[in-house]
Structure 1
């Protein structure tokens, strides 16, 4: 098993390596930084041009791997290596590398135009999320840490996928001695005075959501207690607000935190796909996010 890092040859992807090393400190596995370099077409008519292109690509690849190796050298306690490979599609090549290297998690960085400390998907990462069969971890821009994973927050919706995800994350937390926090995000508009039947119905819906969430959370807590979790290493809570930023900001976040979300897609061809709610959570998350594909049948 490995942590495979997508390392862009023309970008500062140190955040992705920082995140991969953080994961490796908690659950030791080798970290492999992979730079994908454009592949030539190899047609006879373009033989001369293609040779020049291949030479350029090799130079870029070697330089990128050297930069990745230098970033990994900042973490001498981690078993890290850097390689470059040719490919015509960065997402597809990374997926092939993840499979070939038996990756436990595929780690990528945020877009270069994301705000510092925030996550923004690149077009390549977005395509990657639609087809990955392994979890994809996304580092906030300029991410740095010297800690391991101290606490894992899992987004819980009380559906089949969430229960499957919760069990998987709980097992990982037990192996890595990380604390577990189960959060149900409740986003609702600011309540208006009850001046019509519509407003009254809206208030009832919001109250029903909160009641259902509390019931589901109690069930989740009982399930996790049966797995050996105690109040010292388990927290179950809701995060509410009039918008996603307020809801996510209503709970504490610290160095060593990791947020895990499950796939919300029902399309059989999409292994990992961010639904509208998950996309908004990712956009406002102040910590690294791991997107986990649904298990078959979930």
Structure 2
């Protein structure tokens, strides 16, 4: 493997045309420069410089290695600059994840403000369930994520920390022709005969199941639809009702209304998730997310 310091010395001697002048420029002794170049020549398998009465010049082998050395050193310098701006939070890539409804208003609003403050940081967004986002943070694929404790509780992952950003009330979506569509607040028990549209695909306890138990009933039927567009379609058709977080309110179609429920526990908490040693840009985006969270509900 080539010695990077040796390559730097090769370029310096070639530019100076003399071991002595290169030594003065680099604050080395002339004998130290001669020894390092001799070691580099042994590694290269032959002379890299032609020794002249006044100075030195690159040999054919030296010119070939010099071209590579200049390219390698230039790439290292550019990498060093990129790392410096990355660690200063003023540039580079930032991989940011968010769950579905956070991408309706919260994350886009935050990213717009973040871009205005730090235009040289390129954010690469990723959408996924909160559990998947936590896994991506743990394996280094993501630098920052917005996650939720709905519907199963806050997921955990080794090497990932979470802090609350805001609370998000859960409303019920009804078709406008529903008998309760005009109510300011609905008793959850009044919906005991409804089918519920949600994307819970296993038997773990959910926020909905717990709320219905508190109201003295179990959901009559669960219609399992993963995407929000599909959920809204089923509710619009009168096939069921659905819990909708406030963050998703902007995406609700005009054919539906959102009503409050009388259970104060029907809410979720939005968290900022970061690796143990976060990038400065990730911390800065977290600050922006906290600032805009109160305005997008």
- What interval of TM-score do these two structures reach, taking the shorter chain for normalisation? under 0.3
Please, what TM-score do these two structures have when normalized by structure 1? 0.24
